[in-house]
């Protein structure tokens, strides 16, 4: 098991290399160049070329890539922004932390809301405890996060004037972005947990547990639940992509200075160092969470644990 | 359309006609599913015959004198900030939004399921190769990747389709793989293997039919999700280039005029919610019809 | 009455979904004596498992429903017990072994924990060491190394899993063991082992047993009494001698025997029963077996046969029925026959 974890952590290295390459590659396909973007359309071509040269933008793709990786690995230097001329790390890190804070609030809220309600809905199937949350989650699953955010903004800022409409300066200002991110995911979690739980409840081993004389409470919470949670754990991990997307949207809607809106802004200027650093940071964080999900999965499913132990050392 | 697309694999699983009929019979009994089917058919009909209802020019012609006008008998949904008829924009916008969503669902399902089945069934280095590449791929959040791809390739129909497929096929790989992992431990698969059935045959005729429930539930959920995702992309300014109408784009324009013209936000949002809801209703109905135990 | 452990009278069970109603069990009656083994024989879908689940009240809550009849366990009416009394009964006094050992164990719990649970739900105060000791005892009783208690179900073979299931069922030394085709899912060689083990444990613990099977060989080996079930009804019942000796039999029982290869008369060809079981959502009006019966007469198609009793041997067939009065009340006619049997 320890070997497996170390192996997975070592896998972070190719992940980072791969992600950086993908971004370099994709950005290389785009038209335009940073010099033009920074100096504007009216600047003379000679100035633009000179700036591009200074920035190291004109080097061939692979050379640029290798240079970048060497710099990061050897000097821990993420380069300087083409656009602001500041150190990339200092620029990206604080904004990355803001996005992560939002995404974490999102993952916790959506799990805390969605999973228990889903379990309850399955256990009390056809009762109001099932039908009402199921109906609400059904509607929510059809509303895009940005529409939800707009509705929240319209209601709580414009009409009721209760919550600040932008920034992240007080705890109140967290409410709307956090809800925008987590409510759609909570709805998905509810649906997923409910169907997984219903599936689990009708398994043979649940009947065996009943036949032993176990009370309904034990049957549900001990036997059915643990088996039902296996796919739910995977699903929570898969949610993270949606949460990051949600936080990009929320950052745009509520003018939150997160890494998502930073990347969206800098894509226009082809600010490669910033875009790459931001994406790689998110990717690393993503990979670590995925590893945690797999570990939790292995922890609750002995069959998978056995597989890891035997095949992957 | 969606309904048929989803029903086809089911019909293949149960090769006997009677069982397809049985599924259809159970599907019909489900009130929500029928409502969803009617709703989606209506939406699709309106979108297909959009030109007969209101000409496309209406969606792009600007009449600044009627800027942000509220709904009226002449302009049912009111006017937007450039004085364009919102009714026409919503209906014609649906064409773009829904056809991208449906096509992207289909292509992501095919690509993802195939990779997942192969990874789960063969295991070993094949599994490792596919899953590790996928891990790298998945460690870039969909939205960033899609943004980069759309930005790099340019925003048009095909590129949006590519970007959405890239964003959504990964779900299928993981889910189908884990399904196959579970299923290939089942006795009947071993039985087929022992009977000398080839790998492709086992995957196609023994494992996929049994994983189809999960695939279908996911595919329908995904149609709705992709409708939402696609509108999110246009909201962020990465969808079809303006002035072509598109639900997310209308909403992003509506954002600035939220205080003065909330109607501009209401109708495209309703269109998104209604189509996603109807698809989800059909999906749920199909799931229950395919697997009656889940409900009873 | 004192030496009866289980008495089912006129039990009827349906499965009702919003689409259809399945008549799974239609007015069956049976009695199991203390320390005796009752074999319930019949094809798949005859209602054997439904009968077993009704005894434990484990019918699927959303669909299964007991329409009528009574189930007396040791003088207590099972059907009227509260849910908590029922929990105290399940596992402790009546235990069940299910058909498919592959799916009837919880994949995420060690087998030791699953056996321990059977003990602990009925005696919460049992000390940790006591539980461990009992788990180990039970495991070695079914021929599994006690050290394997920390392993998970996926680490056991099919036969071993079924042994675990049996260990779980026997952990509390129940008075009645319901075995629902315990060997059907196993290899033939393993079948014999598991069967002999069940038989030996039954003898050692003095457990009464309801053995559900479609294998007449198993019945002959371990049962005292037999009921032959077809389409939700017991068409013939009696002691093993009654059923296995030549003489008067229900045509369905004859059919069952005809379906078994006979070593002694090698020349005879296997004679399977033609046709399929009737659709349980639309049972025939007369005798349920009439559509497949070679000796079917006109009245078999319209009138439910009354049971005829001769000592312990009971047959519900027009061939032996003589007069068939009160045609419409076929089921209650069967019930009358049971009363007569009970009074003997």
What is the rounded distance in angstroms from the CA atom of residue A240 to the CA atom of residue A236?
A: 7
Taking the CA of residue A130 and the nearest CA in chain C, the distance in Å comes to: 15
pLDDT of residue A202: 84
**Is residue C304 a contact partner of residue C334, using CB atoms and an 8 Å limit?**
yes
Residues of B within 8 A of A27 (CB-CB) are: 148, 152
Q: Give the pLDDT mean for B41-61.
A: 83
Q: Which of A204, A215, A230 has its CB closest to that of C98? A: A204
CA distance A260 to chain C (A): 40
For residue C40, give the nearest of C175, C247, C224, C251 by alpha carbon. C224
pLDDT for residue C133: 92
Q: Are C278 and C288 in contact (CB under 8 A)?
A: yes
Backbone angles phi, psi at B247, to 5 degrees: -55, -50
Nearest chain C residue to A223 by CA distance is C106
Least confident piece of the model among A21-35, B277-291, C301-315: A21-35
pLDDT at B280 over 60: yes
Domain ranges for chain B: 25-51+77-294
Band the pLDDT of A119: cuts 50, 70, 90: very high
DSSP run (H or E) holding C76:
strand C76-77
Contacts of C58 in chain A (CB under 8 A): 207, 210-211
pLDDT of residue C261: 60
pLDDT band with cut points at 50, 70 and 90 for residue A281: confident
pLDDT, residue B17, reads 56
Q: pLDDT tens digits for chain C (344 residues)?
A: 468 899 999 999 998 877 778 888 988 999 999 999 999 998 888 889 999 999 999 888 778 889 888 999 988 898 998 988 888 889 889 999 988 888 889 888 899 999 999 898 888 888 899 999 999 999 988 889 999 999 999 899 888 999 899 999 988 889 999 999 888 878 888 888 888 888 988 888 889 999 998 888 888 888 999 999 988 889 999 998 888 887 788 888 888 877 666 555 554 555 677 777 888 888 888 888 888 888 888 888 888 888 888 888 888 888 876 544 333 333 333 333 333 444 44
3-class secondary structure, C97: strand
Give pLDDT, residue C6. Answer: 92
Rounded to 10 deg, the angle between the B86-122 and B247-256 helix axes is 120
Out of B119-123, B257-261, C63-67, C135-139, pick the least confident: B257-261
Q: Which fold has domain B25-51+77-294?
A: MetI-like fold (1.10.3720)
d(CA C216, CA A307): 42
pLDDT at A142: 86
Closest-approach residue (CA) in chain B for A289 = B139
CB A208 within 8 A of CB C98: yes
Give the phi and the psi of residue C11 in degrees, each rounded to 5: -75, 130
Average pLDDT over residues A141-147: 87
How far apart CA B232 and CA B160 sit, in angstroms, is: 12
Mean pLDDT along residues B103-107: 92
C102–B187: do the CB atoms touch at under 8 Å?
yes
Where residue B292 falls among pLDDT bands split at 50, 70, 90?
low
Q: Is C47 on the interface with A (CB under 8 A)?
A: no
* Whether pLDDT at B137 is above 80: no
pLDDT at C212: 92
Establish if A288 touches chain B: CB-CB under 8 angstroms: no
Q: How far is C212 from chain B (nearest CA, A)?
A: 24
What are φ and ψ of residue B187, in 5° steps? -65, -35
CA distance C304 to C283: 11
pLDDT for C136 equals 92
Q: What is the pTM of this model?
A: 0.75
pLDDT score at B283:
85
Chain A residues near residue C121 by CB distance under 8 angstroms: 212-215, 218
Please give the pLDDT value at position C323: 43
Is the pLDDT assigned to residue A313 strictly greater than 70? no
Contacts of C19 (CB under 8 A, 6+ apart): B25, B26, B29
Give the per-residue pLDDT at A117.
93
What tens digit of pLDDT does each residue of A132-142 get? 988 898 888 88
Residue B175 C-alpha from the chain's centroid: 17
Tell me: the pLDDT tens digits for A245-272? 788 888 888 888 888 888 878 877 777 7
Contact present, B70 and B256 (Cβ < 8 Å): no
Q: Among residues B141, B163, B161, which one has the least CA distance to residue B150?
A: B163
Model confidence at B295: pLDDT above 70: no
Question: Which CATH superfamily includes the segment(s) A93-312?
Answer: MetI-like (1.10.3720.10)
Cβ of B141 and A240 within 8 Å?
yes
Q: Give the pairing of strands C64-73 and C4-16.
A: antiparallel
Nearest to C38 by CA among C59, C55, C58: C55
The answer to whether C208 touches C5, Cβ cutoff 8 Å, is yes
Q: What number is the ipTM of this complex?
A: 0.80
Nearest Cβ partner of C87 from A208, A215, A226? A215
Across the interface, whether the CB atoms of C17 and B187 are under 8 A apart is answered no
Parallel/antiparallel/unpaired status of strands C225-230 and C37-41 = parallel
Query: Above pLDDT 90, what percent of chain A?
Result: 8
Q: What are the pLDDT digits (tens) for A170-198? A: 777 888 888 888 998 898 899 889 989 98
CB contact under 8 A, B147 and A264: yes
SS3 at position C200: helix
Alpha carbon of residue C11 to chain centroid = 14
Q: What is the pLDDT of residue C165?
A: 92
List, by residue range, all CATH 1.10.3720.10 domains of chain A: 93-312
Asked if A51 has any chain B CB less than 8 Å from its own CB, the reply is no
């Amino acid at each position: 098991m320890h070997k497996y974890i170390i192996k997975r952590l070592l896998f972070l290295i190719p992940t980072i290399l791969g992600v950086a390459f993908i971004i370099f590659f994709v950005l290389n396909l785009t038209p335009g160049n940073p010099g033009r973007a920074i100096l504007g359309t009216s600047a003379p071509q000679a100035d633009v070329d000179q700036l591009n040269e200074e920035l190291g933008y004109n080097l061939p793709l692979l050379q640029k890539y290798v240079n970048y990786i060497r710099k990061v690995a050897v000097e821990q230097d993420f380069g300087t922004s083409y656009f602001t001329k500041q150190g990339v790390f200092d620029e990206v890190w604080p904004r990355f932390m803001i996005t992560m804070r939002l995404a974490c609030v999102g993952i916790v809220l959506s799990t805390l809301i969605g999973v228990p309600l889903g379990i309850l809905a399955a256990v009390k199937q056809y009762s109001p405890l099932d039908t009402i949350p199921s109906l609400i989650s059904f509607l929510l699953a059809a509303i895009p996060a940005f529409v939800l955010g707009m509705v929240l903004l319209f209601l709580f800022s414009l009409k009721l004037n209760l919550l600040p409409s932008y920034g992240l300066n007080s705890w109140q200002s967290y409410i709307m972005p956090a809800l925008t991110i987590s409510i759609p995911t909570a709805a998905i979690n509810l649906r997923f947990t409910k169907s997984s739980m219903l599936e689990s409840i009708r398994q043979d081993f649940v009947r065996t547990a009943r036949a032993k004389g176990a009370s309904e409470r034990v049957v549900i919470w001990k036997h059915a639940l643990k088996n039902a949670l296996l796919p739910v754990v995977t699903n929570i991990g898969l949610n993270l992509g949606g949460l990051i997307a949600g936080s990009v949207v929320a950052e745009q809607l509520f003018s939150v200075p997160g890494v998502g809106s930073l990347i969206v802004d800098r894509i226009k200027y082809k600010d490669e160092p910033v875009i790459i650093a931001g994406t790689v940071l998110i990717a690393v964080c993503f990979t670590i969470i995925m590893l945690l999900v797999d570990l939790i999965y292995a922890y609750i499913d002995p069959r998978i644990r056995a597989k890891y132990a035997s095949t992957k050392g | 359309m969606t309904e048929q697309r989803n029903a086809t694999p089911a019909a293949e699983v149960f090769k006997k006609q009677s069982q397809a009929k049985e599924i259809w019979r159970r599907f019909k009994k489900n009130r929500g599913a029928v409502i969803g089917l009617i709703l989606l058919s209506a939406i699709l009909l309106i979108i297909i015959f959009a030109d007969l209802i209101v000409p496309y020019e209406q969606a792009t012609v600007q009449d600044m004198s009627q800027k942000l006008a509220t709904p009226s008998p002449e302009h049912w949904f009111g006017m937007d900030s450039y004085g364009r008829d919102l009714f026409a924009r919503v209906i014609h916008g649906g064409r773009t939004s829904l056809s991208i969503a449906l096509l992207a669902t289909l292509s992501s399902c095919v690509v993802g399921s195939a990779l997942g089945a192969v990874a789960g069934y063969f295991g070993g280095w094949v599994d490792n190769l596919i899953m590790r590449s996928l891990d790298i791929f998945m460690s870039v959040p969909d939205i960033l990747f899609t943004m980069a791809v759309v930005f790099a390739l340019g925003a048009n129909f095909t590129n949006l389709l590519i970007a959405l497929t890239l964003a959504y096929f990964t779900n299928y790989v993981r889910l189908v793989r884990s399904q196959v992992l579970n299923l290939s431990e089942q006795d009947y698969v071993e039985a087929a293997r022992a009977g000398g059935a080839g790998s492709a045959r086992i995957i196609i005729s023994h494992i996929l039919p049994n994983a189809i429930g999960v695939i279908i539930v996911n595919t329908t959920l995904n149609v709705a999700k992709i409708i939402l995702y696609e509108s999110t992309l246009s909201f962020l300014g990465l969808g079809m280039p303006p002035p072509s109408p598109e639900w997310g784009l209308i909403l992003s324009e509506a954002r600035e005029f939220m205080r003065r013209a909330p109607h501009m936000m209401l109708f495209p949002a309703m269109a998104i919610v209604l189509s996603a809801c109807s698809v989800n209703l059909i999906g749920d109905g199909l799931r229950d019809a395919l697997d009656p135990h889940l409900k009873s | 009455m004192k030496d009866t452990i289980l008495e089912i009278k006129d039990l009827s069970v349906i499965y009702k979904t919003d689409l259809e109603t399945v008549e799974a069990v239609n007015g069956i009656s049976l009695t199991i004596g203390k320390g005796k083994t009752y074999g319930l024989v019949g094809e798949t879908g005859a209602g054997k498992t439904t009968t077993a689940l009704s005894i434990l009240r484990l019918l699927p809550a959303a669909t299964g429903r007991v329409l009528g009849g009574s189930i007396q366990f040791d003088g207590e009416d099972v059907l009227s017990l509260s849910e908590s009394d029922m929990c105290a009964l399940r596992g402790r006094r009546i235990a069940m072994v299910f058909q498919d050992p592959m799916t009837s164990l919880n994949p995420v719990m060690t087998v030791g924990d699953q056996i321990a649970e059977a003990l602990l739900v009925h005696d919460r105060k049992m000390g940790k060491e006591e539980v461990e000791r009992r788990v180990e005892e039970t495991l070695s009783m079914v021929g599994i190394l006690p050290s394997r208690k920390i392993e998970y179900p996926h680490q056991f073979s099919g036969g071993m899993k079924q042994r675990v299931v049996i260990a779980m069922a026997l952990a509390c030394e129940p008075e009645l063991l319901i075995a629902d085709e315990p060997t059907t899912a196993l290899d033939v060689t393993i079948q014999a082992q598991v069967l002999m083990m069940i038989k030996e444990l039954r003898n050692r613990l003095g457990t009464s047993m309801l053995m559900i099977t479609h294998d007449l060989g198993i019945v002959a080996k371990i049962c005292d009494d037999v009921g032959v079930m077809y389409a939700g009804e017991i068409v013939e019942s009696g002691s093993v001698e009654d059923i296995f000796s030549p003489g008067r039999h229900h045509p369905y029982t004859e059919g069952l025997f005809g379906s078994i290869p006979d070593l002694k008369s090698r020349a005879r060809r296997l004679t399977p029963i033609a046709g399929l079981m009737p659709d349980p959502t639309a049972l025939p009006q007369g005798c349920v077996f009439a559509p497949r019966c070679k000796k079917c007469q006109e009245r078999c198609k319209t009138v439910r046969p009354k049971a005829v009793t001769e000592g312990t041997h009971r047959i519900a067939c027009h061939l032996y029925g003589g007069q068939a009065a009160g045609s419409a009340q076929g089921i209650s006619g069967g019930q009358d026959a049971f009363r007569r049997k009970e009074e003997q």
